Amino acid sequence: MSNLRTISDFKGTLKGGGARPNLFEVSIPNFPAAAKTGPGAGWTNDDQLEFRFMCKATNMPASNVASIDVPFRGRIFKVAGDRTIDNWTVTIINDEDFSLRNRFEAWMNGIARLRNNTGATEPEKYMTNAQVMQLGRGADKGRFSDTHSNAAGGAAIKPLKSYTFEDIFPVNISAIDLSYDSSDTIEEFTVDFAVNNWYSGKGGAAGVADQTGVSMN
């Protein structure tokens, strides 16, 4: 017979007071070659830093394994199928110079131009990697560390956990609705990315994922 659980037992198992969904940071260290040509193209250190601040929402990846139904004498036996990877979405706050939206529009235009439907055909020319980092509230971990460098400048992030999305490219940039009725609000838009692979790490320096976590490889 198990002992009655108490609030003190619960308190002792809630490590760090629990991970908070509003403590995160997203980075795209580099844009591919196809995203660096044409109007609005490029990806500077300033763009990286702005994206880290203006990306207001995203998600950690789901982990999916499809199942295969095998009929047997009136019953269905399920066996494991293939891994599948969902699209990854970020929500971005739009500032008045439209710099981030211009960058993502240029990236998509480098893949398939609106005028003639031409663009990059080699995957390495239009794919890149991104990272989501879960931060913590404590001073000793999950915040910032002086022991690692940061590609975008400033103190480096030492996350509680990180997810690296490999070989991503944008497949949708959402519309921005305009209306006389919209007051006291700031424009936002989403970007959906196709993802070919992801892996998770236990934390460490930004951009250096610890592959002791889950890998899709």
CATH classification of the domain holding 117: 2.30.110
What does the DSSP 8-state code read for residue 33?
Answer: G
Residue 133 lies in a domain: yes
Global pTM reads 0.81
Residue 8 lies in a domain: no
Residue 206 lies in a domain: no
* Cβ neighbours for 150, distance < 8 A, ≥ 6 positions apart: 156, 157, 206
Rg (CA), the chain: 21
**Euclidean distance between the first and the last CA atom of the chain, given in angstroms as a whole number:** 43
Structural domain for 103, as ranges: 17-63+70-201
Residue 213 lies in a domain: no
Residue 169 lies in a domain: yes
Q: Give the pLDDT confidence score for residue 155 in this predicted structure.
A: 55
Contact 49, 153 (CB under 8 A): yes
Q: Minimal CA–CA distance to 43: which of 189, 185, 170, 210?
A: 170
Instruction: Locate 86 and state its tokens.
Output: 């969902």
Q: Compute the distance between CA of residue 137 and CA of residue 158 in angstroms, rounded to an integer.
A: 12
Kindly give the confidence (pLDDT) of every residue in the chain, 217 residues in length, as a single tens digit, with 9 standing for 90 and above: 567 788 888 888 887 788 889 989 999 999 998 888 766 677 888 888 899 999 999 999 998 999 999 999 999 999 999 999 999 999 999 999 999 999 999 999 999 998 898 889 999 999 999 999 998 876 555 554 433 434 445 555 568 889 999 999 999 999 999 999 999 999 999 999 999 999 998 654 444 444 434 444 4
The number of folded domains in the chain is 1
Instruction: Locate 6 and state its tokens.
Output: 């108490």
Q: Compute the distance between CA of residue 2 and CA of residue 19 in angstroms, rounded to an integer.
A: 28
Residue 118 lies in a domain: yes
Residue 135 lies in a domain: yes
Q: Give the pLDDT confidence score for residue 207 in this predicted structure.
A: 40
Instruction: Locate 197 and state its tokens.
Output: 């692979």
Nearest-5° angle of CA 110, CA 51, CA 47? 65
Instruction: Kindly report the backbone phi and psi dihedral angles of residue 111, in degrees, each rounded to the nearest multiple of 5, phi listed first.
Output: -85, -45
Residue recorded with tokens 């936002």: 188
Contact 127, 110 (CB under 8 A): no
Q: Is 180 helix (H, G, I), strand (E, B) or coil?
A: coil
Residue 216 lies in a domain: no
Length, in residues, of the chain: 217
Instruction: Locate 202 and state its tokens.
Output: 């236990």
Q: Give the pLDDT confidence score for residue 156 in this predicted structure.
A: 57
Q: Give the pLDDT confidence score for residue 217 in this predicted structure.
A: 47
Q: Give the pLDDT confidence score for residue 114 in this predicted structure.
A: 87
Q: Give the pLDDT confidence score for residue 58 in this predicted structure.
A: 96
